[in-house]
Amino acid sequence: MESITFYLILLFLYATLALIFISFNIVHPKKYINFMSISHILGIITVVFTLFGEVNNKNNLMTNIAVFFFLSSNFLAYATIESFLKRKISKYHLYGAISLVIIDLLALNFICPISVFIHKIFLMFIYIYLGMNILKCKNKTFSIHFLAITTIIFPLVQMVFGFSWLFIARKDYYIDIVAYILHTVTLSFSIILITIEETHRKFDSHVNLLQEEVKSNQKLLQDAYELDKLKTEFIANISHELRTPINIIFSSIQIFEINLPEKCAENQKLKNYLKTMRQNCYRLIKLINNLIDMSKIEAGFMQLNLYNYDIVKLIEDITLSIVPYAEEKCIQIEFDTEFEEKVIACDSEKMERIMLNLLSNAVKFTRESGEIKVNICEKDGQILISIKDNGIGIPENMQKSIYNRFTQVSETFVRENEGSGIGLSLVKSFVEMHGGKIMLESEIDKGCKFTIVLPLKVLDDHTRDNVSLNEINMKKIEIEFSDVNV
């Protein structure tokens, strides 16, 4: 009865170890963990057949089956350590294991002492040999030392009792069995502990590698930021330097235009040349202004001058101011509003830039006899300003990138219309500085609709009279429309 209780406890132990290793193998899939899982399953089968043999009064068949699975379990334990040591299990190992099983089964039935020698001495000698090899591992940790020592000590105890059984007294020693159980348990949990430590080391190594990559990327990012800063400063400096000669050229053109007699045909031809020169000066001024503003925005120096304005009159005056440019292309301009007056806080100069850019684009890309509609309405406590045309439209694949700097809708090398591709980027920045957003709806050959959404807020201590059409700087309009081909 005591032996049956002992084997039931052993069965529970093997089942627990098998469950632990199967679960652990799911989280940390490794070949040697898998070997150990199967070894414990075979250990369960060994105990089951041994238990059947005990119940059936040392049934010979049950004993033989139990020995077969016992040796198979030990062979997989051996394979576990070999795999842990990163050594392959060759076919000679397999042939040796099969030969050992055959010899042990024959000895069990005919020459019992040889079977005990194989169980108690030969197998334990192999474990001791493996323990010595574990001690030779590089980068030994406490867990590896513990695994090596237990793989040597417990099999050594079993060898001693094996010799005692053979040469002194042929009786069962419970200390021998306890040593085997302790060997199995310490071997199992040492393997788990080592695997966890190895996982932690790999994780720490990976974290260190990522930290090094982060540092490297931060340095690259800082270098890129410094380079971009230098580029921005260079563009800003060049833009400021270009202003002076362009202003001198533009002033000279104005002097020539004023002093040339009207009636002379040659002078009229010369005036046409001067007009072309003036328009191109405006184009350069527009480009320079955009580059300077872009640099200011990047550097965080661009500020809003917020005052309370009647947004309806401001937008209407700006819209009406570009009618002559639209009429030259036979484009009809329509302005509509849901209310006659609506005061909000905004920067009138920035709003002029926003509207003139969007309107110039609308005129630029709308065919002759087309129409442009400007509408103001209120929705959900916000002001919506829409500019809609029936021009060529913007492809869907380009709609997300049109606000990027230097982006042009045309994908060909020959531009249908002049422009630097900076305007919409500035428009988006100016709108966002007001706490608003800009949206686009467009279809090819059906036109575009840009909608500016602005918060409906009013300042308490900043007021200013409404701007009128006469106060809108007509030079700004000429500059903004300088790249419109008419």
pLDDT value at residue 414: 37
Give Cα 315 to chain centroid, integer Å.
43
Closest CA to 435 of 288, 284, 306, 282: 306
Please, which residues have CB within 8 angstroms of residue 247's CB and are 6 or more apart in sequence? none
Looking at the chain, the number of H-run helices and the number of E-run strands are 14, 7
Residue boundaries of the structural domains of the chain: 2-211, 216-299, 307-480
CATH 3.40.1800.10 applies to domain 307-480: no
Give yes or no for a contact between 409 and 394, defined as CB atoms under 8 angstroms apart: yes
* Of residues 427 and 117, more confidently modeled: 427
Distance CA 355, CA 372 (A): 13
Residues 64-106 have pLDDT tens digits of 888 888 888 888 888 888 888 888 888 888 888 888 888 888 8
Distance CA 230, CA 64 (A): 85
Residues 288-328 have pLDDT tens digits of 888 888 888 877 778 888 999 999 999 999 999 889 888 88
Mean pLDDT along residues 477-486: 72
For residue 111 the two structure tokens come to 């020459």
Residues 209-228 have pLDDT tens digits of 999 999 989 988 888 888 87
Instruction: Find the DSSP H helices in 28-139.
Output: 31-55, 60-84, 91-110, 112-116, 123-135
Using pLDDT thresholds of 50, 70 and 90, give the confidence band for residue 469: very low
Q: Is residue 267 over pLDDT 90?
A: no
Q: Is residue 179 over pLDDT 70?
A: yes
Distance CA 17, CA 80 (A): 15
Mean pLDDT along residues 448-465: 82
Neighbours of 211 (CB within 10 A): 10
Q: Is 78 in a helix, a strand, or coil?
A: helix
Residue 182, classified by CB atoms within 10 Å of its CB into exposed (0-12), middle (13-18) or buried (19+), is middle
Using pLDDT thresholds of 50, 70 and 90, give the confidence band for residue 169: low
Would you give the end-to-end CA distance of the chain in angstroms? 110
Look up residue 201 and give its amino acid.
Answer: R
Residues 349-381 have pLDDT tens digits of 899 989 999 999 899 888 888 999 999 999 988
pLDDT value at residue 157: 82
Q: Determine the length of the chain.
A: 486
Phi and psi for 383 in degrees, rounded to 5? -95, 130
Residue 104, classified by CB atoms within 10 Å of its CB into exposed (0-12), middle (13-18) or buried (19+), is buried
Residues 326-356 have pLDDT tens digits of 888 899 999 999 998 999 999 988 999 899 9
Which range of 94-98, 119-123, 138-142 scores highest in mean pLDDT? It is: 94-98
Using pLDDT thresholds of 50, 70 and 90, give the confidence band for residue 172: low
Percentage above 70 pLDDT, the chain: 89
Closest CA to 307 of 459, 443, 427, 475: 459
Mean pLDDT along residues 441-447: 88
Strands 447-455 and 437-443: antiparallel
Q: How far is CA 156 from CA 270, 338, 351, in A?
A: 113, 98, 91
Q: Is residue 473 over pLDDT 70?
A: no
pLDDT value at residue 282: 84
Q: Is residue 137 over pLDDT 80?
A: no
Closest CA to 288 of 316, 327, 259, 247: 247
Residues 228-253 have pLDDT tens digits of 778 777 777 877 788 788 888 888 88
Residues 31-40 have pLDDT tens digits of 888 999 999 9
CATH 3.90.1570 applies to domain 216-299: no
What's the whole-model pTM score?
0.55
pLDDT value at residue 314: 92
Percentage above 90 pLDDT, the chain: 19
Using pLDDT thresholds of 50, 70 and 90, give the confidence band for residue 411: very low
Q: If residue 454 lies in a helix (H) or strand (E), which one and from where to where?
A: strand 447-455
Neighbours of 234 (CB within 10 A): 11
Give yes or no for a contact between 416 and 346, defined as CB atoms under 8 angstroms apart: no
